[in-house]
Amino acid sequence: MSSSRCGYVAIVGRPNVGKSTLLNHLLGFKLSITSRKPQTTRHNVLGILTEDECQIVFVDTPGIHSGQEKALNRYMNKAAGRAIADVDLVVFVVDRDRWSEGDDLVARRLAQVDVPVIVALNKVDRLTDKAALLPQMEQLATLLPNAQIVPISALHGTNLEVLVEAIREKIPEGMHFFPEDQITDRSERFLAAEIVREKITRQLGAELPYEVAVEVEEWRREGAVLHISALILVEREGQKKIIIGDKGERLKKIGQQARLDMENLFDTRIMLNLWVKVRSGWSDDERALKSLGYHDN
């Protein structure tokens, strides 16, 4: 009889390299919000994959970056740093042919950890000439000589079974930490707030004010309908106008898209109310961040 295995695995990398997309595809379930905008992920989010005797507890982390100018940036870097310190294995996601200062920063931190590192070389499906990978592979071999390198495509699911098998081999034997059917440690309220934030990010693109947070203020069941009211926080009046849009059209579209995702996720009818409020300086205010759920666990 095979022995039970269980371990925590941090997914790390610079901002916008595909960490959340990778987690979602590994789980076969959309848990972490994704967008093209860097630093979309702000919290450590646990995604639990249980297959037979093996339970892998993935920790999706905010992108490690050099900016420390605001309390929110410091929070994100601390969250990612804590994850690296507390896991059994690290998956370091890098772009197939693009190495930046951000990647270098993460690699230097990982060179000091005592746990195994697997490098997930992402987006290899877009590569026509495989020889283009060689400089990247050489750089990784120099910085992280003991790391195993697995080429993948997070978006298209390429080689993910090879990555999972490499992880299974390296996590320790032990009892499972979570029930077999549990997929995350996060509450439904948290997931709802994150869905709204994703739709704002995708709707606004380059126009997006970085300082946007979402707070769920009401969560009430009435018959077959779940009533959710969420507050979108911005720092300036101009940002509020951008999110609301002309005659409220943009906010309406954000609400429609978020409601559809929530109905799929929670498998129930949703009545979603959104409104926007200016709270100046929240992203650089430690107390405000704590009230919005940005606190050390």
DSSP string, 262-284: HHHHHTSEEEEEEEEEE-TTGGG
pLDDT at residue 124, rounded to an integer:
79
pLDDT at residue 65, rounded to an integer:
42
Contact by Cβ (8 Å): 183, 29: yes
Summarised one tens digit per residue, pLDDT across range 188-213 is 888 899 899 889 888 876 655 556 78
Q: Residues of 113-148 as b/e, b for ≥16 C-beta within 10 angstroms?
A: bebbbbbbbbbbeeeeeeeebeebeeebeebbeebe
pLDDT at residue 38, rounded to an integer:
42
Is residue 8 predicted with pLDDT exceeding 50?
yes
Among 82, 78, 105, which residue's Cα sits nearest to residue 92? Answer: 105
Domain ranges of the chain: 5-170, 188-291
- Of 26-35, 50-59, 132-141, 287-296, the range with the highest mean pLDDT is 50-59
> Do 188-291 and 5-170 fall under one CATH topology?
no
Residue listed under structure tokens 């920790």: 59
Q: Could you tell me the CATH superfamily of domain 188-291?
A: K homology (KH) domain (3.30.300.20)
Q: What is the pTM of this model?
A: 0.73
Summarised one tens digit per residue, pLDDT across range 224-260 is 999 999 999 888 888 899 899 999 999 999 999 999 9
pLDDT at residue 41, rounded to an integer:
44
pLDDT at residue 276, rounded to an integer:
93
Residues in the chain: 297
HSE-up of 227 (CA within 13 Å, CB side)? 6
Summarised one tens digit per residue, pLDDT across range 80-90 is 566 677 789 99
Q: Which CATH architecture has domain 5-170?
A: 3-Layer(aba) Sandwich (3.40)
> Is the model more confident about 22 or about 74?
22
Task: Tell me the pLDDT of the chain averaged across its residues.
Answer: 81
